[in-house]
Amino acid sequence: MIPLKRFVRKRCAGRLHRRFFSMERKLVIQLRRVIMKQLSIEMPIVAECAVRECVYNTEQCCHARAITVGNGVHPGCDTFFNGSAHSKAWSRTAGVGACKVSACKFNEDYECMTEQISVGRDGESVRCLTYQR
């Protein structure tokens, strides 16, 4: 049997340890938020997306932080991810982080320069409907 003094010391140490790690975790989360805010940049928005089966889609809007468009010459949505677990971040509107389709008239140096884009189905593929040559 553990003596009472040692038992109390052990329990207190455990609590302090847990409290310290929970404070440390909160601090790390807050720091991450500050850093993420510093990284926020302007980008075109994904105004609508009709691809309901994508995990980032809620009510025909994309809620990823940012999407990547393009697979060489095809303006497909590279971020498309087929699945049933839809985004919880429904209040967020996605931006176009990068676009690899240099043939599009809105593309400048592999970045999309228009104000907003729409994404939808084109046969079997999921693509940027704003694409123009």
Options 114, 116, 121, 122; binder of ligand SF4; rule CB under 6 A: 114
Nearer CB in complex with ligand SF4: 22/102: 102
88 DSSP assignment = S
Contact flag: residue 117 with ligand SF4 (CB under 6 A): yes
The one segment of 8-16, 21-29, 34-42, 67-75 that binds ligand SF4 by CB under 6 A: 67-75
Q: Which position has the token pair 């990284």? A: 39
Options 43, 45, 51, 66; binder of ligand SF4; rule CB under 6 A: 51
43 φ/ψ angles, rounded to the nearest 5 degrees: -155, 160
Contact flag: residue 76 with ligand SF4 (CB under 6 A): no
Rama region for 109: left / alpha / beta (φ>0; ψ in -120 to 50; rest)? left
* Cβ atoms of residues 69 and 128 within 8 Å: yes
Q: How far is the CB of 112 from ligand SF4 (least distance, A)?
A: 3
